[in-house]
Each structure stands twice: as C-alpha cells, then as structure tokens.
Structure 1
Amino acid sequence: MPSISQPDLVPDASSTRAEMESQQREIAALATFEDRFSFDARRITNPLEAASADKPLEAASTDGTQPIIAGVDQSFLLESEPERALSAIVAMRDGEVLERVYAVTPLEIPYIPGLLAFREGGPILKAMTNLSVEPDLYLFDGSGRIHYRQAGIATHIGVVLDVPAIGVAKSLLCGDPADSLEGLAPGTRVPIEANARVDAPEGTVLGYAVQTRQYESGTRSINPLYVSPGHRVGPETAADLAFGLAAEYKLPEPIRLADRYATTAKREYRA
C-alpha cells in the first residue's frame, strides 16, 4: 500500500456534513487534474485494436516495465449488524492478475449523494493495507472530478495517498453532457461539463461519458460510463485509459475483476 500523504484528510465518518463538504473543497483544491504519473499513457490501445496490431494493452513505465493497475470495488453485508462494507481490490500488470485482497469493516453512515468517500473511503483504505504490491494507478467504481465539489471518492483517496486515480461511474452524479448520449458508437466520448450544481466555472470539462461497448443491433443500447480524473490524471487521459482497459466487457477490466472478486470474497467471508 502507498503511504498516506495527507493523514488529516483521511475520510472521517464522524464529521458533520458541513465538515465533510468543507474537506471536499480542500481536497479539490489540492487535486491535480492533469497527467502526473511515471508511465507512458500514449501506448494505451483499445484491446481489440491491440489484438489485431499485436500492441501491448497497457502503457510501459519510464523504466520499461508495465505499470500495476488496481481496480477498486465495494460490496455490502447489509444483513449483518452493524452493516458492513466489503472492499475488494484486484491489482493487474500487463493483463495478468498479480493480487486480490479484501477487507470487511463496519459502515458508519448511510449513503448520501456526494459524500460516498466518507461512507466507503475508510473500508477501501483498510483493504489497501493488505496489498503487497504498490499500484501505479487506481481505478475506482465511483466518481472523481464529476462531483458537486470536484472531489468524488477517486479524488479523495487519490489525494490522501497522492497516487494517480480515475473515477469510473455507471451513472451521472452531476454536470451536463455536451451532446446526446443516446446510442453512442464504441469509442465515442462526450464531455461532461460543470453546471450550476458544481463548484467550478460553468462549462469546465469535468470528465467524459465514454462508450466502451455497444450492441450491434439498434434495438437495445448500452449506456456509457462516466469517467473523470481523480488525481494526477487529466480528463482526456482518464477517458483513454478507461476505454483502453475495457476488454470484452463494458467496465475496465481491473474494476470488472474487482467487482467479481467482491462477490467471491463475500461468500468466503460468510463461510
């Protein structure tokens, strides 16, 4: 696990709502929404193109090695008392799984839109302590800059650890798409711009709606993912990475495998 760079910003579920929102604004001010990482993201390629062109799926780092990319996902044991979160992390390198870890911790507060990091951030940090590898990039099932105060869970944890992080959400928390999202072709991306609900100048590009997969038939449509920079990654690169890491499925492979592992780990924990 990377060391905690900002211990005073570790999510504290006992904070008041006003304190949480104030901390999120502080985190957004500290976040870097541009590329600041050691691997060469220009070598990221769509997996289908990579297979035909015999190109690597992931970018090489500056020392020539492939980066370690971790997917982070959550599951819940809601029938337990107290209710518990199961945080699952899958670390991959060059398409191969290096490590799977999880942790189970109590949930201290209910879900409140915009304050997800204070509900799930502690459990995620707990799971990260079980990692023996140190990922170069984290992909979170949740938002980054596409957030009311520009500090979703990917931004919050990214800043706390000072690591490159991306938020990949299945639904749009806030902001306005710059164009229609209906029936997009694979590879299409549509900017998500700040509106009056976001603490940013209106029109600021917070991230992208990214269409990773689509049905061949026009009778049904797969919704896009909402991808935004968490920390030390720019919005365009975040979209490139999310699309490039989506193999045969809609979700980027590290997050998809973390989601699948969370289901397995839940069964193991209950056994």
Structure 2
Amino acid sequence: MRPANPEFLPDPALDRGEMEDLQFEVADAADWTDAFDFDPANVSLGTEASLTGERPLVAGVDQAFLGEEAVSAIVLMRGGEVVERVHAVTDLDIPYIPGLLSFREGGPIVAAFEQLSSDPDLVVFDGSGRIHFRQAGLATHLGVVFDVPSVGVAKNLLCGRTAEDVDGRPEGWRTDVVADSSVENAAPEDRIGHAYQSRQYDSEPIINPLYVSPGHRVSVPTATELVSRLCGGYKLPEPTREADAYADEAKGEYA
C-alpha cells in the first residue's frame, strides 16, 4: 500500500514550527464525514446472520520499541479472522514530543503499510485522530497520507474536555469530547470525539474509557460506533489488540 498524498508524509527532519504547519495542512485536507464504501453495520468480529454484506477489511496499527528502533505492526482482519500481518523495524529519528507523535512514529508505520498486499477499508490506530492540539493526530495524519478511512483510539485524553465526568461509567456509555482553548482552529464546543466506555467491571478496579476520534473520512459518531463493533468484550478494538500482540511477537524475534 503506497501513500496517496506523499506531500503530507511526516518528515522528522522538519523543525517544530514546520511540523506544526504541516499538521494544520493535514487538518485542512482531512474529511470528517462518512466517506467510505462499506456499510458500518457489516463491521463485526462475528458472522451473525443479520450481516448482509461482506465484512470490510479492517487494519489495526500498533508499535513496540527496541531502544531507538520501532517495530511497527499492522494486522488486517475480516470479521474475526486475521488475513494478513506485516511489520517493519525502523529507526526512531526524534524523541517523543506531545502533539508530534506522527513525526516520531509515522515513518515506521508507513514502512509497514508499504508491505501490505491488500488495501484496508478501515484503519484503527493506537493514537489520537481529531482529538489533537491541531486536529491532526496520528490517525488523521496517516489517514490523509494514505487517503484511507481511519479512526484514532487513545487511552488518555490529549486535549479538549469531556462534556460529562467519565469516572465509573457503565459499559457502552459515551460522552462528547469538545474543543477548548487547547485545540486550535476549532470553534468552542466543537465535538471532536467521544470518551467511550468499551468495558467495565461491576466492582473494582474500575476501567477507564477510551478516547475515540475520527482520523479521516469518518465522522465522530460513526468512529465510536465502529470501535464499539470491534471491541468484542475487551477494552481495546480487536484489530489493535492483535497488532499490539504481533508487535511484541516481532520484537521478540529481533531482541
């Protein structure tokens, strides 16, 4: 799979100002409406008879690290079946800087994408999409680079604020994440994602919610609906769970 918009590739050689300028350009190019060919109702880990069409190909993306190298893993699934796994091991050129994750990890992920033999219908990233200081997190940045429908799923809230308190919510609960002064080029109270309680225990320990946001070619409500269809009783979506496990497996081969 090759980049459709190589002019947006994250270049770690840029200075911080140039990186942020590129992120603004990425956000301008991003489409936060539902612009895909599959039926969201057919996104499922099962084979229930109510599904009327072919399951879309969903890719999960995650990474493991070996010192200053990244093991970037992509697992492609159709329903609950893994159909392809690829990984790439590449150098990390810059340290982690909040808000600039795509410039640290984007190149390694692009290297893994280039090994995929099939184009996914949807990509789920372990990282933010529109919930980002410049509305251009990892899922948005690489979604635009490959022009692929994408969703970001983060474990922590990078910016913005939740419309309601998130503590101890029941499984299936969600609330808006809205823009505040930390989100540039957004109107106050713009909805940029959801806090989504994908799983919860009846007693301690309480599980914290996920922070789901559109990357590219997916709307806010649809992004969360897609993630809810992919969790399968776990906190994280199955494609990224599989990618996390595969990244660790591949890391073991090199370690």
Task: Name the amino acid aligned to 2:5.
Answer: Q
2:85 corresponding residue in structure 1: 100
Q: TM-score, normalised by structure 1?
A: 0.90
Q: TM-score, normalised by structure 2?
A: 0.96
Evaluate the alpha carbon distance shift between residue 6 and residue 44 of structure 1 in structure 2; reply closer, same or farther with a 3 A threshold.
Answer: closer
1:136 corresponding residue in structure 2: 121
Alignment pair present for 1:74 and 2:63: yes
Alignment pair present for 1:35 and 2:40: no
Asked whether the 8 Å contact 2:168–2:206 carries over to 1, the reply is yes
CA deviation string 1:211-260 (max 9, x = no partner): 1100022x321000000000000010000011110013100000000001
Between the two proteins, what is the percent identity of the paired residues? 54
2:191 corresponding residue in structure 1: 205
CA deviation string 1:173-194 (max 9, x = no partner): 0000000101111111110000
User: Aligned equivalents of 1:25 and 1:85: distance in 2?
Assistant: 26
User: Aligned equivalents of 2:42 and 2:56: distance in 1?
Assistant: 12
Asked whether the 8 Å contact 1:143–1:169 carries over to 2, the reply is yes
Asked whether the 8 Å contact 1:44–1:240 carries over to 2, the reply is no
Cα offset, 1:269, TM superposition? 2.0
User: Aligned equivalents of 2:55 and 2:41: distance in 1?
Assistant: 13
Alignment pair present for 1:113 and 2:101: no
Runs of 4+ in 1 over 6 A off after TM superposition: none
CA deviation string 1:92-150 (max 9, x = no partner): 00210001110000000000000000000000000111111111100000000000000
In structure 2, runs of 5+ residues without a counterpart are none
**Two-structure CA RMSD over aligned residues (Å):** 1.4
Alignment pair present for 1:122 and 2:93: no
User: Aligned equivalents of 2:41 and 2:233: distance in 1?
Assistant: 21
1:239 corresponding residue in structure 2: 224
Alignment pair present for 1:146 and 2:145: no
User: Aligned equivalents of 1:39 and 1:130: distance in 2?
Assistant: 23
User: Aligned equivalents of 1:29 and 1:42: distance in 2?
Assistant: 29
Query: How many residue pairs get matched?
Result: 254
In structure 1, runs of 5+ residues without a counterpart are none
CA deviation string 1:141-183 (max 9, x = no partner): 0000000000000000000111100000000000000001011
